[in-house]
Structure 1
Amino acid sequence: MMDNKLIQFLQMATESSPVWLDDGNTIAYIRHDNTGSHIWQMDLTTGEKLCRTTEDTRIWTIKSVPATGDIYYATDSTGSECERLYRLSPGQTNGSEIAGDPNTRYFLGGIMPDYNIIAYTCNLRNKATFDVWKKDLLTGKAVMIKQHSDNYNWPCRDALSPNGQYLLYNKLRGENDNALWMTDMTTGETKRIPEDDVISAETEAVWRHDSKGFYLLSDRGGNFISVYYYDIEFSDFEQVYSYCWDVDGLALSADDKYLAVSVNAGGYTELHIYDIEANSEINQPIPPKGVLSRYQQMSWSPQGHKLLFTLTSGKRPEGIWMLDIDADRLERISEKSANNEQFLIEPQLCSYKSFDGLTVPYWLYVPYGIEARNLPVVIEIHGGPEGQEVPSFNGFIQYLLSEGIAVVAPNVRGSTGYGKVYTHLDDVEKRLDSVRDIDSLVTHLIESGTADKNKLAVSGTSYGGFMTLSCASRYPHLWACAIDTVGMYDLVTFLENTADYRRAHRESEYGSLEKHYDILKAVSPAAKISDISAPIMIIQGRNDPRVPVTEAEQAVNALRSLGRTVEYLCYDDEGHGIAKLKNRLDCYPKMAAFLKKYLF
């Protein structure tokens, strides 16, 4: 029988990734609701809304050209991550495909000033690498500008210079090895920014509108990510703003007057607005405590100084906000959820000492009106591993809380957001130290009285799935049950079968097949699979290019041959995670029933 309360949480409306369709009155954005995921537009004056796409599919990126009202977006319908590019013109429902191939990934870099030519990278020629291309949308002619022989060459969010001359993109080899490169779209001449061999990460570039330079983020100044500026004419690279936390995002106003800087302060976002000419921070209205995702753009209006951004928190579903600097006004554009937010829960930021004395932070979600004593607890582990658990809205977590189940979401060693040193504490031979962090967390939760030692579950997605399998196999006595979603079972077979362009990047974190084969085997859950005793649910998308379905199949087959209790959910039209609403409505009720069966 369908749980109506859970369905309400899963279908709760969220709105994100806003872009401008004109000078400052109409926006487009991505909306998730009880019909799925679609692109919508809104007139900010009248409040009128219009759905612009009809298929429920994952929308990876959205860009706009305010001068024409065109929307450009990337999507794939099978979970394979072979994104196709579309243009959605004014008055049109559903976009027209402008670049696509069933076995190729396309990343839009930008639209040339004539609005007829797009710049992008793709792995059409060689699936292991991404070349730089441009395509005339009037003639259909595509030309390769720069051929590459390495792996990732992904355009920045604001990749193409306003004059159309330069394209910026990253060569991703690791979280802190992510060099920025620039290609001349006429000559194909390419160089690194800055021009040296320092191992560092330069990301999130935003161009000045005269194309004379750009602001960007870099970690080469110390343990945290700071704001830099690069001057095209003089090749100058200088630090301009730094903090005791990582900077997550940048946005530069259309007249280059204001720079918006989002700072990840221990998980919550601090928004700073700088008057560049005055070289000072302005005193603007402050958004509510929450998270501005590093994966979603902030967007300034073409006229005036209106900044759009997406805000979420533990009890706030993703919604669009607008900061109008000229009017000194902050307002929520998205309507509030129909659900009673009074009973939704914000997490508490806590910490504990791990086995070696390292302080590890975690978020504690406690059911409404209940003391944090002797509770059933789900430990939810984030993916990455170079990722971070932040207090953003999660409908499934809120449902578990409403059922009396607490949730603990740790940022074990290897997580981002706490400096480069912390991020690399789990590399290669230190992989299992992060698993020991979870053992120490369980000890802390039991000794503090928070958790019932007989009612603990572990769950996670992607690398969090690897951690789930690792915890269930290396500390089997701790768990009443476990749920692994798209997790790695054997790091060797994972590296052998992951998408070709991903391998070098993943080897930089886990170890290479050539140099660390024995370590990869030893730290894999496969090495200890026979020790798993708790019931386990394994969830997988059949078309996953990151963690192939063979990882889940190996784990399921091994557990079944051992006579263990295992439930397996595999979705034929999904990839790395469960994105489609129809599949979420099947998967999450089964997850909820599984957890309640073994925790109560």
Structure 2
Amino acid sequence: MTNDQARPVRGYFWSRDGKYLLYSQDKGGDENFNIYAVNPAEALPAGQAVPTARDLTGLKGVRVQVVNVPLTDTNTLYIGLNDRDKAWHDLYKLNLTTGEKTLVRQNNDRIGAWEFDWNDQLRVASRSNPDGSTEWLRVEGDKLTPFYKTSIDEQSNVAAFAKDNKRVYMVTNMGPGRNLAEIVLMDPATGKEEPFQADLQKRVDVGNLAVSEKTHEPVFVSFEDDRMRRVWKDKEFEKDFKTASAKLNGLDVYPVSNTTDERLWLLSASSATQPSVAYLFDRQTKQLTKQYETRPKLKSSDLADMKVVRYKSSDGLEIPAYLTLPKGVAAKNLPVMIVPHGGPWGRDTYGFNAMHQFLANRGYAVLSPNFRASTGYGKKFLEAGNGEWGRKMQDDLTWGVKYLIAQGIADPKKVGIMGGSYGGYATLAGVAFTPDVYSAGVAIVAPSNLMTLLNAIPPYWEAMRKQLYARMADPGTEAGRAELARMSPLGSANKIKTPLMVVQGANDPRVNKAEADQIVVALRDRNYPVQYLLAPDEGHGFARPVNNMAMFAASEKFLSKHLGGRFQESMSPAVAKRLEEITVDPKTVTLVKETAVK
């Protein structure tokens, strides 16, 4: 359907009538996405292998958002464009055939989300207030009327309209009595709410609410615990789902999509040792038909299982984590890799994890902790990370190492750390603030100076700026600047004695290239060896396969040298050439003069 040599397509969906395959694409990782359409039925020009992709939005330096895919008008998308104001997206109607854009609503009210009802009428919006609070508004013509508000420390989100097309399912943890987010049924006209679903085990926040587009009734509510759980609301769906799942040998099964009449389901089945396999399930005949494997060359018998572990951190807080042990060797005195997730306001989950499998195959025990500030475990766990970058959040990783040593799993002299985004920051913080813990670090798109990080955030992050300040520190105050300096690994670069590899995308709009340059120069100026990979055609994390292969070829050799794991010496000529091209001599790195505090 597509043949984009410059960059893989990472997100796609069908138009409602199945006429177009739609996808978003940026340039070199700059995250300024346009929307493209492919018509699979068109006649191919001579010598052309795939249909022509049309750029429907055709904008430069603009981040296009998909807001609504209406059922009532299959030739339309509702999209958000920040071409007028870089910080806020105006609402447009996009014609899929012609690409014509029609302004629906100019965003002069700091609107962060628009919500449509079952008739595809704009009914609700959320406003991000300057103080960091979120306000929900009824949309009545040109008038916006508030009906619900959550503070900077609280969460609220409209999951769907109810069947009556009046009330909404609101995900919320508002109020001192709620630690875990739950779903309530709320009437925007009155603000009245009634309970709908919370975690009956009182362990985690509510996850996803699935609602039937045919009946407009809830199907299930999911909860991401150590493993995912579901509470079924539709008993017929539950019965059919269990029939399909029973044929898949204990794999975790996830609904992906369905036909409009809900007879046919596309399902994804996977486990820690089974990459996702797609199946088609016919609810009428109960027939399950395999469609394809996402990674057919990986055999389950070669992959390592993942298990849940829990340990106490420095202050006694319990940290849930996922551990993968290499196959074929005793789980004793192993080299270890700590792999913290990005965000940091996200979380790791159970299942097939390519990084875990790669590192376990090379002989490492791999631990991914859901450190404090990880999402899904309630307000208290999230807020326990406020102001704790490089401190207790880092302790949660360090005490994970101590746990593995105490269990006899880890060789204390062969512990490495590797991650991207916040995981990259945690890598730098690990080698800077706890230099005796780690023997190797690979920092991918990693913030090194939190002042320059916050000064360089994209304009369209304006809605979350105040929240960033609340959870990290406010660079507009003297005390905040002091805290950011304390939390910045760059300020402790003179303490680093761990071999380090730094990986960066030149076009990263979130973690600017300067973040990598600064730490590389700081180490270089100490005459301390540091390896630096810089891809000119990447952004916040590598997407192009040749760049990824080059990065992992370099990193596994680097880790092998310092931790003793295996590595594959051979690589294709294309990967070898690319690795040479993106390897930077630290002597050549120059710093751009810092901009003033905004």
For the criterion TM > 0.5, the same-fold answer is yes
In 2, are the aligned partners of 1:284 and 1:328 still within 8 Å (CA)? no
Which residue does the alignment assign to 1:489?
Answer: 448
Checking the alignment, whether the CA contact within 8 Å between 2:308 and 2:321 is kept in structure 1 is yes
Aligned to 1:551, the other structure's residue is in SS state helix
Aligned residues: 537
Q: Output one character per residue of 1:342-393: Cα deviation in whole Å (capped at 9) or x when no partner.
A: 1212211111111111111211111112221100001111111111111232
- Alpha-carbon distance in 1 for matches of 2:142, 2:54: 28
AA aligned to 1:195 is Y
CA RMSD, aligned part only? 3.1
The letter of the residue matching 2:160 is: V
Residues 356 and 366 of structure 2 are in contact (CA less than 8 Å); yes or no, is this contact kept in structure 1? Answer: yes
When structure 1 is superposed on structure 2, of 64-73 and 79-88 the one drifting more is 64-73
One-letter amino acid matched to 1:223: N
Conserved 8 A contact 1:127-1:500: yes
390, 397, 409: which one pairs with 1:450?
409
Task: Give the direction of change, closer, same or farther, for the CA distance of 1:120–1:417 in structure 2 (3 Å limit).
Answer: same
**C-alpha displacement of 1:313:** 3.5
1:109 match: 67
Question: Displacement of 1:131 after TM fit?
Answer: 2.4
- Stretches of 4+ moved more than 6 A in 1? 288-293
Question: What letter is aligned with 2:181?
Answer: I
> Where does residue 370 of structure 2 map in the other structure?
411
What amino acid is the match of 2:469?
A: E
Tell me the alpha carbon deviations over residues 5-57 of structure 1, each in whole angstroms, 9 at most, x when there is no partner.
Answer: xxxxxxxxxxxxxxxxxxxxxxxxxxxxxxxxxxxxxxxxxxxxxx4554463
1:334 corresponds to which of 282, 286, 292: 292
The structure having more radius of gyration, on CA atoms, is: 2
SS of alignment partner, residue 394 of structure 2: helix
Instruction: Sort the Cα spacing of 1:476 and 1:339 in 2 relative to 1 into closer, same or farther, 3 A.
Output: same
Distance in 1 of aligned mates of 2:538 and 2:278:
27
Moved more, 455-464 or 238-247: 238-247
1:67–1:57 Cα change, 3 Å: same
Q: Which runs of 5+ in 1 are unaligned?
A: 1-50
Instruction: Read off the aligned partner of 1:400 and give its amino acid letter.
Output: L
- Partners of 1:142 and 1:283 in 2: CA distance: 42
Residue-by-residue CA offset, 1:233-262 (whole Å, 9 max, x unaligned): 665443311113222222222322652335
Q: Aligned pair 1:372/2:331, yes or no?
A: yes
Aligned runs of 1:84-483 on 2, under 5 Å?
Answer: 84-92=34-42, 93-112=51-70, 113-136=72-95, 138=98, 140-143=100-103, 145-148=105-108, 150=110, 153-154=112-113, 159-166=115-122, 183=139, 187-192=141-146, 194-196=147-149, 200-203=154-157, 205-207=159-161, 211-220=165-174, 222-231=178-187, 236-243=192-199, 244=202, 245-256=204-215, 258-275=217-234, 284-285=241-242, 287=245, 298-321=256-279, 333-335=291-293, 337-428=296-387, 432-483=391-442
Contact 2:134/2:150 (<8 A) preserved: no
Listed one character per residue, the Cα deviations across residues 203-256 of structure 1 (whole Å, up to 9, x for unaligned) are 362345774444343333722222333446665443311113222222222322
Partner of 1:542: 506
State the 1:423 CA deviation: 1.0
Distance 2:357 2:60 in 1: 37
Q: Is the 8 A contact 1:121 1:131 kept in 2?
A: yes
Distance 1:266 1:496 in 2: 35
Work out whether residues 451 and 475 of structure 2, in 8 Å CA contact, stay in contact via their aligned partners in 1: yes
Q: Partner residue of 1:75?
A: 25
C-alpha contact 2:135 2:148 (8 A) present in aligned 1:
no
SS of aligned partner of 1:248: coil
Cα 1:459–1:582 shift into 2, 3 Å? same
Aligned to 2:471: 509
CA–CA distance in structure 1, aligned partners of residues 61 and 102 of structure 2: 17
Q: Which residue of 2 aligns with 1:38?
A: none
Q: Identity percentage over the alignment?
A: 26
- Once the two structures are TM-superposed, the CA of residue 89 in structure 1 deviates from its matched residue by 3.2
User: What secondary structure sits across from 1:357 in the alignment?
Assistant: coil
Greater per-residue strand proportion: 1
Q: Whose RCO is larger (CA < 8 A, sep 6+)?
A: 1
**Are positions 1:598 and 2:562 aligned together?**
yes
Change (3 A) 1:541 1:433: same
CA contact (8 A) 1:485 1:539 kept: yes
Paired with 2:164 and 2:38, the residues of 1 have a C-alpha distance of 27
Report which stretch shifted further, 237-246 or 449-458.
237-246
1:369, 1:547 → 2: CA distance?
Answer: 39
Q: Which residue of 2 aligns with 1:33?
A: none
* Offset of residue 78 of structure 1: 1.2
Q: Deviations over 1:387-425 (max 9, x none)?
A: 111123233431221221111111111111221111111
Taking a change above 3 Å as real, the CA distance of residues 427 and 139 of structure 1, as seen in their structure-2 partners, is closer
Q: How far apart in 2 are the matches of 1:126 and 1:304?
A: 40
Q: Which residue of 2 aligns with 1:57?
A: 7
Equivalent residue of 1:130, what SS?
strand
For residues 498-544 of structure 1, the C-alpha deviation after alignment (integer angstroms, 9 at most, x for no partner) is 21232504323212211311111111112211100011001111111
Structure 1 residue 465: deviation in Å?
Answer: 0.8
* Kept after mapping to 2: 8 A contact 1:251/1:300: no
**Could you tell me how far apart the structure 1 residues matched to 2:165 and 2:3 are?**
33
| 1:463–1:488 Cα contact (<8 Å) kept | yes
Distance in 1 (CA, whole Å) between partners of 2:541 and 2:138 is 33
The answer to whether the 8 Å contact 1:130/1:154 transfers is no
Which residue in the other structure is 2:574 paired with? none
Cα distance in 2, alignment partners of residues 228 and 324 from structure 1 = 33
Match in the other structure for 2:591? none
**What is the alpha-carbon distance in structure 1 between the residues aligned to residue 133 and residue 179 of structure 2?**
14
Residues 58 and 77, structure 1, Cα contact 8 Å, conserved in 2: no
